[in-house]
Structures are given as structure tokens and as C-alpha cells.
Structure 1
């Protein structure tokens, strides 16, 4: 009579261990599945989104300063357009990043903040010239290169589409920036 309860106890113990083991495997699988979802874009695509966010923040902040400091209407008009359009692109980028579980920076990079600090100290036509050169031309040249590269090389199709759709607007901003630079460079000192 002792053999039956012992065998039954062994079967229950083995079955319990199998159920626990199966539960552990299910949890591990769920964790791997969660990590796969969190890693839905590769590091290059994440880097692009981060750099794009920082560039957009830099252009918005510098343009807000231009609205306050410049007395040149062409500079003010360009700055307002940059604020409006880069704010719209920033919202689209935030939505994309959120869908890919990517956390974006909320301010320009340290190097960009240093350039903005330089702009803040300038006045008059000197400010206008530096703003047109640094933000209108140089920052947009960098942004165009960044978006061109991602529109060709991004692995994630949504990231690639975002870069491709945003690129023409940035190219337009660059041309407008070059035109603005010519205008302020020709202005009296």
C-alpha cells in the first residue's frame, strides 16, 4: 500500500516541476518578445531620430531668439517659418519615436547649445548675419545631409519614410536660408 501513494506523490511532484518549468519558459519568452518590440529600430535609426530631434530643437530655439533680437523683417519672417515648420516636424518625429519605443532628447545637443549661446550675445546686423549663416545655412546643410542619408539607408521603413517626406522641406529651408544670408550680408553694418 505504501507504493501507490509514493508513486502518486512522485508523479504529482514531477508534474508540478514541469508546470513550473513551463511557466518559467513562458515568462522568458514573453520577456524576449517584449525586448524585441522595444528594439524595433536599430542603433543607426535611433541615432538618426535623436540627431533629428536635437537639430529641430536647435533651429526652434535659435529662431525664437531671432524673433526677439532682430529688427530685420526678412530675418523675423524666416525665423517664424522655421519655428512653425520645425515644431510640426518635431511632433511627427515624437509620434514616430513613440511608436518605436525611442526616447528623444528635449533640447539641442551641447554643441548646438554653445552656438545658440553665441547668438544670444550678438546684436543688430551682426546677429542677423550669424543667424542666417549658422541656422539658415550651416544647420540646414547638416540637416539635409542627415535626412538624405537616412532616407537612403534607414532600415526601419517608417523611419525611412519620415526622412524622405521631411527632406524636401529641409532643402527648401536651406535655399531660403541661403537667400536670407545674401540679403543680410548685403545690408549695412
Structure 2
């Protein structure tokens, strides 16, 4: 009798796991992993701070210089906010830019005057659209696994949209 009970319990357990999948895991149906999003957000923050510093010193128009200053201020704040979240979860993030971002910074460092302004605008629009797309994906229902990280991404979208709109007018 005990064997029949044990066997029926095992069959029931098997049926439950087969017909009622468990909650999603980080490796499940999510579009981007926590770590991939963290890497992208952290390197983008560092890139915006570095590019903003360059805009303040090399920009030829007041609008480029002011935009650069705003990027330094805001992305330093985003970087600090992300650092608190990362520390609370025991995660790690890069502290430098990607190779592609470094290449953009090298180009910007070599330019001056209106050539700098033009290239800076081009890079800000392209990078701004890419990061906005990433944050929109990451903040969605199946974006990243961690709810706090999804909320971080969701709360930044309105600001990223504003930055992108302003970059287009430089």
C-alpha cells in the first residue's frame, strides 16, 4: 500500500511539474539577463560622463556645452543610483566604457569646433536611441529577471527620451 501511495505521489508531482511550469528563472523567458543590462547601463553611464566632459571643454556652441554639463550631472546621478542597487544585490558592474564607446571618445577628442559639435550630436543621437531601446526592453514584463532592476530601467525611460529629444536639436 505504501508503494502505491509513493508511486501515485511521484506521478502527481511529475504531472504538476509537466503541466504547470514553475516560475520563470533568470535563465527563462527574459529578453536580457540582469548582468547584460547592468553592463550596458554602467558602461553607458561612464560613456555619457566622459563624452559630457569633452562637450563642456571642446564644444563650440553654448547648447553643446550645456548639454554636456547636463549629461555629466544626470549620468553621475544614475551611476550612483545604480551603484547602490548593485551593492544591495551583491552584483558587479564594469567601471569603464566599452571598446566601441572608447573609439567614439577617441574620435571626439581629435575634433574641435563645429566638427566636434556635429560628431557629438551624431553620437548622442545614435547612442541615446540604442540605450533607450535597451531600457524599454529591460523594463518590460519579460525584460530583466530582477524586479528592482526592471524598475530602475523603467524610471529612467522618461529622462532618456528627453535626453534623446534634446540631442536631436543640438
TM-score normalised by L of structure 2: 0.79
Is 1:92 the equivalent of 2:81?
Answer: yes
Larger RCO (alpha carbons 8 Å, 6+ apart): 2
1:54-65 aligned at under 5 Å gives the runs 54-65=43-54
State the number of aligned residues.
140
2:55–2:120 contact (8 Å) kept in structure 1: yes
Displacement of 1:102: 1.3
TM-score normalised by L of structure 1: 0.71
1:103-114 aligned at under 5 Å gives the runs 103-114=92-103
Residue 144 of structure 1 is matched in structure 2 by 132
Structure 2 gap segments, 5+ residues each: 1-24
2:121–2:168 contact (8 Å) kept in structure 1: yes
Task: Deviation per CA, 1:16-47: give whole Å up to 9, x if none.
Answer: xxxxxxxxxxxxxxxxxxxxxxxx96670111
Task: Deviation per CA, 1:57-108: give whole Å up to 9, x if none.
Answer: 1111011011111131000010001111111011111111111211111111
1:44–1:154 contact (8 Å) kept in structure 2: yes
Residue 165 of structure 2 is matched in structure 1 by 175
In 2, Cα distance between equivalents of 1:108 and 1:127: 20
Residue 161 of structure 1 is matched in structure 2 by 151
